[in-house]
Amino acid sequence: MTAKTALRLDIRNALARPKDSKDKQLGIAPQHGVSQAQLESIAPALETAIEEIKTQRRFSAKQLAEFRIRGEDLDLGFLDQPRLWLADSKTLAQLKHKANQLARMAEIFIVAGIGGSSLGARVLFQALTHPYHNELPRRQRKNRPRVYFEADSVDNDALTGLLDLLPKRKPANLSEAFTINVISKSGRTLETAAVFRILAQRARQVYGPDYTNYIVATTGSSSASALRKIAEAEEIASFEVPDMVGGRYSVFTAVGLLPAAVMGIDIEQLLAGAADMTRKCLSRTVNSNPAARYAAVHHLLYRKGKTIRVMSVWAKALEHLGYWYDQLLAESLGKDGRGPTPVTSVNTRDLHSRGQQHQQGTYDKAITNVFLRKPLREELVLPATKDHSDGLDKLVGKNLHHLLVAALNGTNQAYRFDDRPTIDIMLAGLTPYALGGLMQMLMIATVIEGKLLGVNPFGQPGVEAYKKLTKKNLGLS
């Protein structure tokens, strides 16, 4: 599989029909859609944005530090992470060895992190493992542990519920053991630090002096990282988050790769998909560059008042992809009174709720459909029955995916007839390679869109403000 075959981007349902035409088969109304002339007019700005990214990507650490002092983060390190990991076989082998060790040691694996320290791994877990992974017997999980995510809030009852699953004394066997991967670049994120204290306390209670063997930290390389200091002081194994990779862009660092490897995901294929997509998005002309076209269409739609960005996924396994993109888009572009508002929709479930508003509500939405060309598992077909009252006899022998595709096409037709722009992203399959390519494409597109919008897609000053005031309210500042 290549980057070209793994992912196909189709913008036709976002294009405007000719101004003198009323034929809705030719596109949507010009005030709601993007014309070819508009796409051509934005091409020079796209080329400039891509060249800026390529130039800034080569900046030295000193140059990047100078920008950071001015409050202009340029955390483009995510672009090179897939290539660097694949080239460094020794470090990759060390990460996989530790992941396999964690998998063998325990029945429960806890990912403790918030935002970019958690969402990417959640995407990989939901999309690339069995839908009921945690409910399967260990043998059917290929001897991989059950996976739980915490430290993404300070919800007392949620954490108490997780603690109910953990032993209170030294486990008699592997089926009661647990391990923890605590993830925080700074080590000072309130939610993660607070929850980790409680989880570490349980680990000490259960494992005694050996408790550090059951914990791995993923944190910044700098001595400014509080978690780095803890890991070094207590001799906890650790992996680094590179300085020039922001949290929401960190899925292809140890932040996402270590949990993925514990889950048994093929991380080489994940990285290969991302590396191939990087080459495609930074070395091709605009017309054959999916990140540039995705950013261009959305930017033009934003200028037409489409300020709500809906990621409409057509597989339950992709729901957390939407939540991951929510953070990526909101924290990257929601600045200076600008930026689209992201929403995640899972179909066909949400067609029976917010789908009504998407089709006939305010004209402020741009919808991206993400769907699979074919299902991953055995294709279930509708059987014949003696009772014909459900009206489905004509569909006997048809598979469920056939119904899903019909719903997708019907929804796109309905939206087009009501002048609602949609973009389609089709994945050839839900594989590590395809998902790696898609996530990297969305990250690159977000950076390009930030440049088109005139905002810095790195840093999150609003989030930092809430953190500072929360700590002040707690008497910690």
Tens-digit pLDDT profile for residues 284-329: 678 889 999 999 999 999 999 999 999 999 999 999 999 999 999 9
Q: What is the DSSP letter of 430?
A: S
Residues 196 and 53 grouped into a single domain: no
* Closest CA relative to residue 182, chosen from 258, 122, 105: 258
Sign of CA dihedral 16, 19, 23, 24: positive
* Placement of tokens 């680990």 in the chain: 203
Residues 348 and 410 grouped into a single domain: yes
CA 282/CA 272 separation, integer angstroms: 16
- β-sheet bridge partners, residue 240: 219
Structure tokens at 51: 């060249």
The domain tally of the chain equals 2
Q: Indicate left, alpha or beta for 433 from its phi (over 0: left) and psi (-120 to 50: alpha).
A: alpha
Residues 85 and 164 grouped into a single domain: yes
Beta strands in 124-257 (DSSP E): 146-150, 178-184, 215-220, 237-241
Q: Which residue in the list 22, 62, 352, 394 is annotated as catalytic?
A: 352
Residues 322 and 227 grouped into a single domain: no
pLDDT-derived band at 69, boundaries 50, 70, 90 = low
Distance from CA of residue 163 to its chain's centroid?
27
pLDDT at position 147, please?
98
Rank 59-63, 117-121, 184-188 by mean pLDDT and report only the highest. 117-121
* Residue 303 belongs to a domain: yes
The last residue of a domain, from among 244, 265, 286: 265
Q: Indicate left, alpha or beta for 398 from its phi (over 0: left) and psi (-120 to 50: alpha).
A: beta
Catalytic site includes residue 331: yes
* Residue 371 belongs to a domain: yes
* Residue 468 belongs to a domain: no
Residues 65 and 30 grouped into a single domain: yes
Q: Which residue in the list 4, 24, 401, 467 is annotated as catalytic?
A: 467
Which segments of 304-347 does DSSP mark as H helices, in order?
Answer: 319-333
pLDDT at position 16, please?
96
Per residue in 180-200, pLDDT (tens digit) is 999 999 998 999 999 999 999
Q: Which residue in the list 280, 331, 335, 358 is annotated as catalytic?
A: 331
Per residue in 357-394, pLDDT (tens digit) is 999 999 999 999 999 999 989 999 999 998 889 999 99
Give the per-residue SS3 of 91-117: HHHHHHHHHHHHHHHCCEEEEECCHHH
Residues 16 and 153 grouped into a single domain: no
* Residue 469 belongs to a domain: no
**Are the C-beta atoms of 84 and 219 separated by less than 8 Å?**
no
Per residue in 199-249, pLDDT (tens digit) is 999 999 999 999 999 999 999 987 789 999 999 999 999 999 998 899 999
pTM of the entire predicted model:
0.95
CA 319/CA 315 separation, integer angstroms: 7
Residues 418 and 453 grouped into a single domain: yes
* Residue 229 belongs to a domain: yes
- pLDDT surpassing 70 at residue 341: yes
Enclosing domain of residue 249: 77-265
* Residue 470 belongs to a domain: no
The last residue of a domain, from among 205, 234, 265: 265
* Residue 430 belongs to a domain: yes
Q: Counting beta carbons within 10 angstroms of the beta carbon of residue 290, is it exposed (0 to 12), middle (13 to 18) or buried (19 or more)?
A: buried
Catalytic site includes residue 298: no
Residues 252 and 166 grouped into a single domain: yes
Residues 152 and 50 grouped into a single domain: no
pLDDT at position 376, please?
87
The last residue of a domain, from among 210, 236, 265: 265
User: Kind and range of the H or E element at 423?
Assistant: strand 422-427
Mean pLDDT for all residues in the chain: 93
CA 34/CA 425 separation, integer angstroms: 17
User: Kind and range of the H or E element at 63?
Assistant: helix 61-69
Percent of residues, the chain, with pLDDT higher than 90: 83
Per residue in 238-257, pLDDT (tens digit) is 999 998 899 999 999 999 99
* Placement of tokens 């119904």 in the chain: 403
**Are the C-beta atoms of 434 and 440 separated by less than 8 Å?**
no
- pLDDT surpassing 80 at residue 407: yes
- β-sheet bridge partners, residue 7: 427
Residues 409 and 288 grouped into a single domain: yes
CA 135/CA 123 separation, integer angstroms: 18
Residues 411 and 351 grouped into a single domain: yes
Output the domain CATH number for residue 336: 3.40.50.10490
* Residue 182 belongs to a domain: yes
Helix/strand/coil percent split, the chain, to 5: 55, 15, 30
Residues 25 and 53 grouped into a single domain: yes
**Are the C-beta atoms of 108 and 179 separated by less than 8 Å?**
yes
CA 300/CA 303 separation, integer angstroms: 5
Per residue in 449-474, pLDDT (tens digit) is 999 999 999 987 767 777 787 778 88
**Are the C-beta atoms of 252 and 217 separated by less than 8 Å?**
no
